[in-house]
Amino acid sequence: MTASGIIDSETQIDEPVGNDGNRGQIVIVFNPKGGVGKTTIAVNMAAMLQVRKGQRVLLVDCDTVTGHVASSLGMENVRTVADAWTEDLSTGMAESFAEIAAPHLNGVSVLVMAESPLHTEILEPKRVAEAITTACRVYDWVIVDMHPDYGPLNQVIFERADKIIVPVTPDVPAIRAAVQLREVAVELDIRERLAMVVNRANSGVSVADMERTVGMPALAEVRSAGMLFVRAANEGRSAVERFPKEKVIEDIENLCDRMMATRDSGATKSGQGFMGIFSGGRNTNPSMRAS
């Protein structure tokens, strides 16, 4: 399997991932506030890991209400998990997520849970969580874009996550939502897996202040990129492929490098969490200051 190739199902079954055969990582992108950049960051992280880092990536659109992963990648009418599992009832088959997913031209496997928000009963949360975990046998990264809610589907996926990336824009509603998430995370026992990504970071608000206010370490910053993300999505591509030389893509690369570093250091849900890795989160990006 090459970085940009399409995975065939036999390869997936026979070949475990990772340098040392370890399973892939489940990274969810979540903030209970809408419009903070969850989908943008999920799509571009997935593309960066696949295209530039040679990783095998499954990008899951778990937003069954307003999901727009596939449309932002120019993939219309994809077969969804709800479609596949409904068909499987009559065929007696049980397709894995790797088999249901559709390949994007950039090599990322894209999986959409459901097209219609009204017909999701078949997406039994535990079964979805199991299927995501199984996908880790054949992908290096399973990146999950979430709908902003704390419903049963999201809760079981939180449980399985190795990392929870929390995009936060420097505005009061987004910061409040992240503080709420930090509090909820204590109850769900996932606090150590949370890491903030300050999105639209070049707005004059200090990242250190955001870390203090939100109470989460900042894993990385992503600057405001004007219309670049929208323009790329309108062309059905990620900004990583469409605008590879832009500064904002350096930010995405930086974010991915740090995620890969946490994987390699073992700082996941069973490890020390993000706090200890980036010197208390003081990982501000000097180039951001200049822009």
Ligand X SMILES: Nc1ncnc2c1ncn2[C@@H]1O[C@H](COP(=O)(O)OP(=O)(O)OP(=O)(O)O)[C@@H](O)[C@H]1O
**Using CB under 6 A, which of the segments 34-42, 110-118, 158-166, 266-274 binds ligand X?**
34-42
Q: Which of 4, 66, 270, 291 binds ligand X (CB under 6 A)?
A: 66
Judged by CB under 6 A, the residue of 24, 107, 148, 281 near ligand X is 148
Q: Does 38 bind Mg ion (CB under 5 A)?
A: yes
Give the burial string for 9-41 (b: 16+ CB within 10 Å, else e): eeebeeeebbeeeebbbbbbbbbbbeebbbbbb
Per CB under 6 A, does 64 bind ligand X? Answer: no
Q: CB of 85: closest distance to Mg ion in angstroms?
A: 23
Which residue, 234 or 270, has its beta carbon nearer to ligand X? Answer: 234
- Count of residues near ligand X by CB under 6 A: 17
Q: Which of 178, 9, 32 is nearest to 94 (CA)?
A: 9
Candidates 39, 64, 199, 283; binder of Mg ion (CB under 5 A) is 39
Tell me, letter by letter, the H, E, C secondary structure of 87-107: HHHHHCCCCCHHHHCEECCCC
Cα separation, 32 vs 22, in Å, equals 31
C-alpha atoms less than 13 angstroms from C-alpha of 31 in its C-beta half-sphere: 29
199, interface contact from ligand X, Mg ion, none, CB < 5-8 Å by kind: ligand X
Binding-site ranges for ligand X (CB under 6 A): 34-40, 63, 66, 148, 199-200, 222, 224-225, 229-230
